Each structure stands twice: as structure tokens, then as C-alpha cells.
């Protein structure tokens, strides 16, 4: 047994905080995925209908409808009857941030030897959880490598 006293409540608080941050990040990742998909559909088709969103995200129509309702509550999207879903300025900004993070993560993974197909798949998960500090380090490393 160690002679170092362990403050159990402090450890529990730290673990609870980490788990809380992970749940928040997961919840935000869903919003980010939807804003990016809606932005892609608008760019490609001129609008994003719930049916198209559900198909692209691989979810049911009711699941996509709930997600869009959340986007609207968060101020990231608006919807017009019979017209589809549109992103607000905040939604567009989120989609752009996600797209940029995705690209940096893919570029880094490819630079260290990950095949492009695997890098695209892996970046889908990593892009939502990488901190700004880590992302800046990735960008700096990629710039050094290119230079």
C-alpha cells in the first residue's frame, strides 16, 4: 500500500468532470455533424429536406426531425414548411469550423502514413474531440513538414 494519502472525493470530482466533458463533446459532435451535412446538401441541392438529411445521416425521418428541432432551439438552423432546413449564420460558421478541423485531421493522418480512406473515416471521430490547442499543433507540424 502507498504511503501517499488519496483524497477520494477529489478523484471522484475529477472523473465526474471528465465524463461530463465527454458527454458534452458527444452532444456537440451530433450538432456539428448535422450542420455540416445540411451545409453540404444546401451546396449540392440548394436546400436540405428532412428526407435528404435522414438518408445522408443514416437515421430515420423522426430522428432527423428531432435533430433539426434541436438545431433550431440552439439557433443553428431554421426550417420553412415545404421548403426544407436552412442554417443560420451561426450554423454556417459551425459547419465551416467542422470542415476545417476535418481537413486538418485528415491531412495529419495522411502525413503520418494513414491511407486516405482510413484517414477520412478516422477523422470523423477525432475532429469532434480534438482541442483547439492540439489542432494548432497539428497545423504547425503540417506547415513545418510542407516548408
In this predicted model, what pLDDT tens digit does every residue of 52-92 receive, in sequence order? 999 999 999 999 999 999 999 999 999 887 889 999 999 99
- Pick from 21-30, 55-64, 126-135 the range whose average pLDDT is largest: 55-64
Please answer whether residues 91 and 76 qualify as being in contact, where contact means their C-beta atoms are separated by less than 8 angstroms.
yes
For residue 120, what are the contacts with CB-CB under 8 A and spacing of at least 6?
A: 106
CATH number among 3.40.50.2300, 1.10.10.10, 3.40.190.10, 1.10.340.30, domain 8-87? 1.10.10.10
Average pLDDT across the chain, whole number: 88
The three grid cell numbers given for residue 98, joined into one nine-digit string: 467542422
Distance CA(18)–CA(2), nearest Å, equals 25
Query: Distance between terminal CA atoms of the chain?
Result: 52
Instruction: Give the H/E segment covering residue 79.
Output: strand 77-80
Percent of the chain predicted with pLDDT > 70: 87
pLDDT for position 67:
96
Amino acid at each position: 500500500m502507498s504511503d501517499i494519502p488519496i483524497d477520494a472525493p477529489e478523484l471522484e470530482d475529477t472523473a465526474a468532470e471528465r465524463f461530463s466533458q465527454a458527454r458534452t463533446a458527444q452532444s456537440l459532435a451530433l450538432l456539428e455533424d448535422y450542420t455540416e451535412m445540411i451545409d453540404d446538401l444546401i451546396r449540392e441541392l440548394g436546400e436540405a429536406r428532412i428526407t435528404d438529411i435522414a438518408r445522408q445521416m443514416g437515421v430515420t425521418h423522426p430522428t432527423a426531425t428531432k435533430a433539426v428541432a434541436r438545431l433550431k432551439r440552439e439557433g443553428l438552423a431554421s426550417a420553412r414548411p415545404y421548403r426544407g432546413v436552412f442554417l443560420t449564420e451561426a450554423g454556417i460558421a459551425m459547419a465551416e469550423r467542422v470542415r476545417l478541423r476535418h481537413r486538418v485531421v485528415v491531412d495529419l493522418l495522411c502525413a503520418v502514413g494513414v491511407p486516405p480512406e482510413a484517414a477520412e473515416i478516422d477523422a470523423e471521430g477525432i475532429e469532434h474531440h480534438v482541442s483547439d490547442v492540439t489542432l494548432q499543433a497539428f497545423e504547425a507540424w503540417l506547415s513545418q513538414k510542407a516548408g
